[in-house]
Amino acid sequence: MSSWGCPHEIKGICTRVNNLPCDLGMKGCVLFGRFRFADPTKNRPKKVPAPIPAPDDDKA
């Protein structure tokens, strides 16, 4: 069995994000935007595809 340990976490404090308590997936965390979290505030908003332009009917 293995586990993952963040190299930025020291005694529950995140040395990457202003020495705040480690909160996986918070903004600035190395995991932010790389995974989907149960907490939707930690997820990036879904990308909305650009609308497909309507074909020109005049070219026929």
Q: Which of 1, 3, 8, 55 binds ligand SF4 (CB under 6 A)?
A: 8
User: Which of the residues 25 through 54 are near ligand SF4 (CB under 6 A)?
Assistant: 26, 29-31
Compute the distance between CA of residue 48 and CA of residue 60 in angstroms, rounded to an integer: 31
Q: List all residues 6 or more positions away from 48 whose beta carbon is below 8 Å from its beta carbon.
A: none
Q: Which stretch binds ligand SF4 (CB under 6 A): 12-20, 36-44, 47-55?
A: 12-20
Compute the distance between CA of residue 48 and CA of residue 14 in angstroms, rounded to an integer: 32
Contacts to ligand SF4 by CB under 6 A: 6, 8-9, 14, 16-17, 22-24, 26, 29-31
